[in-house]
Amino acid sequence: MALTTYVEAIRQGIWEEMERDERVFILGEDVGIYGGAFKVTEGMLERFGEMRVIDTPISESAIVGAAIGAALMGMRPIAEMQFIDFISCAFDQITNFAAKNRYRWGAGVPIVIRGPSGGGVHGGPYHSQNPEMYFVHTPGLKVVAPATAYDAKGLIKAAIRDEDPVIYLEHKYLYRRIKEELPKDDYIVPIGRAAVRREGKDLAILTYGAMLYQALEAADVLAREAGLQTEVVDLRSLLPLDKDAILSAAKKTGKVLVVHEDTRTGGIAGEIAAIINEEVFEYLDGPVLRVTAPDTPVPYSPPLEEFFLPNKEKILKAARQLAAY
Amino acid sequence: MSAVLRRSRKSPAKDGPAARRDIPPGMRPPPLEPMRNPGLSRARLLDMHRFLRLNRVLEDQLSALYRQGKIVGGLYSSLGQESISVGTACALEPGDLLAPMIRNIGSLLVRGVPPLSLFLQFLARHAAPTAGKDGTLHFDDPGRSIIGPISVLGTLIPVMTGAALAARMRGESRVALTYIGDGGTSTGDFHEGLNLAAVLGLPLVLVVENNGYAYSTPVDRQFAVDSLAERGPAYGIASESVDGTDVLAVYAATQRAAARGRGGGGPTLLECRAFRRRGHAEHDDMWYVPRDIVAAWEQRDPIDRFESFLVEQGHATKGDLRSVEENLAAELDETARQALGSPYPPPEETLRGVYAGGD
C-alpha cells in the first residue's frame, strides 16, 4: 500500500474539501502556479482555477482580512501563511476581527489560517517559530497542531468544516519525514480531542507536534532501561484543550511531564500544570514538570538550535527525575 | 478620560498647537461650488434630506443622553459630515455591501437600521444588536448587507475586499463600500487592502472622510500629499476628491465609483473633504483646533446648504423642512424613552457565544 507523507496528507485534505464544497478556496503568496513554497497547493490551480486558488501580494493582513470578508459572505476560505512566522503581520485581523466577531454580533468567521511552523531545519529566528500561544490566549480562535499524516488530513478537513476560525499549525520538520497509510474514505479528526499514542501507568508525557516523536523514543528507552511504562498523549488541539484526556492521564499515572518545542514562559505546559493542580491535585505523586525550549528566539547555527530544541535526552532527564518521586 | 478633561481646561490656546499659524491648506474649506442635481426626483431629494436630518437629530439626542451620563462609553459625532454618510449610502444599490466606520450612523439609517437599535447599542442594553457585548455602530446586519466595523482602523478595507471577492466568485454584481478617516489612511491595512483590491480588480469603493483631524493630529502630521486622491494613481486605480459638504456631489461621485466597479473598472478611492466640527468624541472639547477653522466650516454646513438648495429649486419650503425636523425630534424622543426602559443584559450573557454552539 502507498504511504502518504504529512505534507501530502494536508494537500489531499484541502483538495478533497475543495471537491466537496465549492465555497472552499485558498489564497496566499505563491499558492497558484508555484503550488506553494512547500507544495501544499500543488496542482490546485490547474484543477480548481484561479478564482479558487488565488495568488496574492505579500500582504498577510490583507490575506486574512479578505478571508474574513469572504467568510462573512458565506465562503470557506483557507489563508496560507508562507511561513507561520509571518502570521504576526496578520495579528490584528486574526485576534481583533476573526476571533471576536461571533461574540460581538453573532456572525462566525469560518476561516482556516495555516502554514509551516517549528524548528529543526536551521531556519533561524524567522522561519522556525511556534506562535501557538499568541492565539491560544485569544478566546474565539481554535488552534490545532497535528503530528501524524492521519491527523494532518483529518484535522485540516475538520478545520475547513468548522464554524469558527482555526489556526492550523503544520510542523515543517514532519512534512516529508512522516508518512503512513491513510484510509481511502472521507474522515475527519475532531478538533479538541487528544490521542493516546502509547499506554502506560508509571508516568505520562503530554506533548504535540514534532516533539511527539522525541517523547515516543524517550518512552522506549524508559521501558528498556527501567521497565517504566510511560503514557504518551498527543494533544493535537491546543485550543480547545482536551481536558478530559489531560486529567485522565494525570489520574492514571500521578506523574506528568509536559513537553513542547515552544518557549517556556507562557507555553501551554504552564496552563496544563495549572489545570492539573486545580482539578486532580490529590492524584499527583510529584510535581508537573516541563521540558521546553528556553526563553530565547530560535537560533540559526546548528549547535545553537540543537541546544535550543527539546529532544529525547532532555526528556529522559526530566522523566527520570519525575519517576524518582 | 478625566486626564484629557483636566488637560483641556488647563491648556491655554496660545501655548498649544491651537496657536499654529501654518494651517495646512487642505484643512480650509474647498472653493464653494453651486450644488447640482444629478437627476434625482423630488421624492428622492426629500428622502435624502430626511436622512440628513434624522442623522443630526439622532446624534443630538445621543449627545443629550451622554451629558446625562446615560451613554455607556464614547460617543462620536458626525456633525458637518452627515452628507458623506447619506450621500454615499443613497448612491448604492440595496444589495451592495456597506461597512460603516464610527461616524457613519447616517449610512446605517439610509440602509434602514431602526434608530431604536442604535439607541440600544449606545445604552448597552440586552435587546441591542450586540446584546451589550459591544457598543456604538459595531454590529452587522446581513439582511441589510451591512458588515460591522471594529475599533482598529483600516481593518475593514481588506475585509470588504474579501467580501467583494466572495460576491464575484458567486457571480453577484455587488459593490463593496467602506469608509476610512484621514488618520486611518496611515495604517498598513489601508495599503494592503487597497492594493489587493486593485490587483484583483474588485469593485471596492473606499471613501476617505478627510475631516482635518485624527483625534488631535492634524492632516499635515498624517500625510504629505495635498489631497488623498493623489494616492489613487499610485495604486493604479481611479480616484476623485469632492466637497464632502455637498451631499449631491458625494452622491454623484459614489455613483460613478459604483458604476465603475460594477463595470469591471476596479476600485475607486473617493476623498470627501469636510471637517470634524466636534471633538474626537464627546469628552473632547478640541481645544487644539483653531476656532477660525471651525467657524469657516460652520458656514459650509451640509444640511443648511442642502436645505437652501431645496428651497431655491422649489422642492420644499422652509416650513416643510422645519416640520421634518420637528417630527423627527418627536419620534426619536419616544424611541429614546423606549430604549431607556429596556433592560441591561444579565451578567451570565458574558459567557455566551464565543464559539458556535456556545448558546
pLDDT of residue B22: 64
pLDDT of residue B15: 47
CATH 3.10.450.40 fits A195-323, yes or no: no
**Residue range B11-27: average pLDDT?**
57
pLDDT of residue B140: 94
B215 CB contacts (<8 Å, ≥6 apart)? B183, B280, B284
CB contact under 8 A, B167 and A73: yes
Separation in Å, CA of A207 to nearest CA in chain B = 25
Q: How confident is the model at residue B12 (pLDDT cuts 50, 70, 90)?
A: very low
ipTM: 0.95
Q: Which of A71, A92, A105 sits opposite B140 (nearest CB)?
A: A105
Amino acid identity, position B143: G
What angle do the packed helices B42-67 and B115-123 form, to 10 degrees? 20
Same fold across A4-180 and A195-323:
yes
Strand duo A142-144 + A237-239: pairing: antiparallel
Q: At A182, list the grid cell.
A: 491513510
Chain centroid offset of residue A43 CA: 25
Backbone conformation region of residue B314, classed left if phi is above 0, alpha if psi is from -120 to 50, else beta: left
Q: Which helix (H) or strand (E) holds B241?
A: strand B238-243
Q: At B180, list the grid cell.
A: 476610512
Helix/strand/coil (H/E/C) assignment for every residue in A288-317:
CEEEEECCCCCCCCHHHHHHHCCCHHHHHH
Place of cell 474579501: B162
Q: Tell me which residue of A196, A192, A210, A99 sits closest to A154, measured CA to CA.
A: A192
Give the integer Cα–Cα distance in Å for B194 and B199.
Answer: 9
Give the bridge partners for B207, in sequence order. B179, B270
B54 CB contacts (<8 Å, ≥6 apart)? B106, B109, B115, B328, B332
Strand, helix or coil for residue B293: helix
pLDDT of residue B190: 98
CA dihedral B145, B146, B147, B151 (to 10 degrees): 170
The DSSP annotation for B3-16 comes to: HHHHHHHH--TTTS
Indicate the average pLDDT of chain A: 98
Burial label for B21, CB within 10 Å (0-12, 13-18, 19+), is: exposed
CB contact under 8 A, A75 and B169: yes
CATH class of the domain whose range is B39-342 = alpha beta
Using a CB-CB distance cutoff of 8 angstroms, which residues of chain A are in contact with residue B139?
Answer: 104-105
Residue pair B262/B199 in contact (Cβ under 8 Å)? The answer is: no
Q: At A146, list the grid cell.
A: 497535528
Interchain CB contact of B345 with A (< 8 Å)? no
Give the integer Cα–Cα distance in Å for A219 and A228.
Answer: 8
Chain centroid offset of residue B186 CA: 18
> pLDDT truncated to tens, each residue of chain A (325 aa)?
799 999 999 999 999 999 999 999 999 999 999 999 999 999 999 999 999 999 999 999 999 999 999 999 999 999 999 999 999 999 999 999 999 999 999 999 999 999 999 999 999 999 999 999 999 999 999 999 999 999 999 999 999 999 999 999 999 999 999 999 999 999 999 999 999 999 999 999 999 999 999 999 999 999 999 999 999 999 999 999 999 999 999 999 999 999 999 999 999 999 999 999 999 999 999 999 999 999 999 999 999 999 999 999 999 999 999 999 9
Residue pair B350/B336 in contact (Cβ under 8 Å)? The answer is: no
What angle do the packed helices B318-340 and B42-67 form, to 10 degrees? 40
Indicate the domain borders of chain A: 4-180, 195-323
Active site residues of A: 127
Give the integer Cα–Cα distance in Å for A65 and A72.
Answer: 11
CB contact under 8 A, B158 and A164: no
CB contact under 8 A, B139 and A92: no
Q: What is the pLDDT of residues B136-191, one digit of tens each?
A: 999 999 999 999 999 999 999 999 999 999 999 999 999 999 999 999 999 999 99
Q: Tell me which residue of A99, A114, A241, A238 sits closest to A168, measured CA to CA.
A: A114
Using a CB-CB distance cutoff of 8 angstroms, which residues of chain B are in contact with residue A64?
Answer: 158
Residue of A nearest to B174 (CA): A73
- Measuring CA to CA, how many Å separate A48 from each of A19, A33, B114? 9, 12, 43
Give the integer Cα–Cα distance in Å for B356 and B17.
Answer: 50
Place of cell 469603493: B205
pLDDT of residue B37: 98
> Residue-wise over A8-44: b if at least 16 C-beta within 10 A, else e?
bbbbbbbbbbbeeeebbbbbbbebbeebbbbebbbeb
Indicate the domain borders of chain B: 39-342
Q: What is the pLDDT of residues B219-243, one digit of tens each?
A: 999 999 999 999 999 999 999 999 9
Residue of B nearest to A138 (CA): B354
Please give the backbone phi and psi of residue A261, each rounded to the nearest 5 degrees, phi first.
-80, -20
Residue pair A217/A164 in contact (Cβ under 8 Å)? The answer is: no
A176 CB contacts (<8 Å, ≥6 apart)? A5, A6, A7
Residue pair B211/B81 in contact (Cβ under 8 Å)? The answer is: yes
Q: Which helix (H) or strand (E) holds A263?
A: strand A256-263
The DSSP annotation for A146-184 comes to: --SHHHHHHHHHHHHH-SS-EEEEEETTTTTT-EE---S
CB contact under 8 A, B356 and A75: no
Q: Which of A25, A69, A73 sits opposite B158 (nearest CB)?
A: A69
Using a CB-CB distance cutoff of 8 angstroms, which residues of chain B are in contact with residue A70?
Answer: 162-163, 165-166, 169
CB contact under 8 A, A68 and B159: yes
Residue pair A123/A175 in contact (Cβ under 8 Å)? The answer is: no
CB contact under 8 A, A105 and B169: no
Give the integer Cα–Cα distance in Å for A62 and A58.
Answer: 9
Separation in Å, CA of A71 to nearest CA in chain B = 8
Interchain CB contact of B351 with A (< 8 Å)? no
CATH class of the domain whose range is A4-180 = alpha beta
Separation in Å, CA of B359 to nearest CA in chain A = 10
Give the integer Cα–Cα distance in Å for A126 and A169.
Answer: 15
Give the integer Cα–Cα distance in Å for B126 and A142.
Answer: 27
**Residue range B192-216: average pLDDT?**
97
B120, B150, B165, B352, best to mutate vs chain A, most A CBs in 10 Å: B165
Amino acid identity, position B154: G
Residue of A nearest to B350 (CA): A103
Separation in Å, CA of A311 to nearest CA in chain B = 36
Using a CB-CB distance cutoff of 8 angstroms, which residues of chain A are in contact with residue B195?
Answer: 57, 59, 62
Q: Which of B134, B142, B192 sits opposite A62 (nearest CB)?
A: B192
Burial label for B191, CB within 10 Å (0-12, 13-18, 19+), is: buried
Using a CB-CB distance cutoff of 8 angstroms, which residues of chain B are in contact with residue A97?
Answer: 150, 152, 155, 159
B154 CB contacts (<8 Å, ≥6 apart)? B180, B184, B187, B188, B189, B190, B193
Give the integer Cα–Cα distance in Å for B2 and A33.
Answer: 57
Share of chain B above pLDDT 90, in %: 91
CB contact under 8 A, B165 and A164: no
B289 CB contacts (<8 Å, ≥6 apart)? B18, B212, B213
Give the integer Cα–Cα distance in Å for A190 and B128.
Answer: 34
CB contact under 8 A, B162 and A77: yes
- Measuring CA to CA, how many Å separate A52 from each of A278, A291, B262? 47, 42, 21
Give the integer Cα–Cα distance in Å for B207 and B274.
Answer: 12
Give the integer Cα–Cα distance in Å for B159 and A65.
Answer: 4
Q: How many pairs of residues across A and B have Cβ atoms under 8 Å apart?
A: 133
Q: How confident is the model at residue B359 (pLDDT cuts 50, 70, 90)?
A: low
Peptide bond into B203 cis (omega under 30): no
Residue of A nearest to B139 (CA): A105
Give the integer Cα–Cα distance in Å for B357 and B359.
Answer: 5
Q: Which of B97, B159, B166 sits opposite A97 (nearest CB)?
A: B159
Separation in Å, CA of A190 to nearest CA in chain B = 15
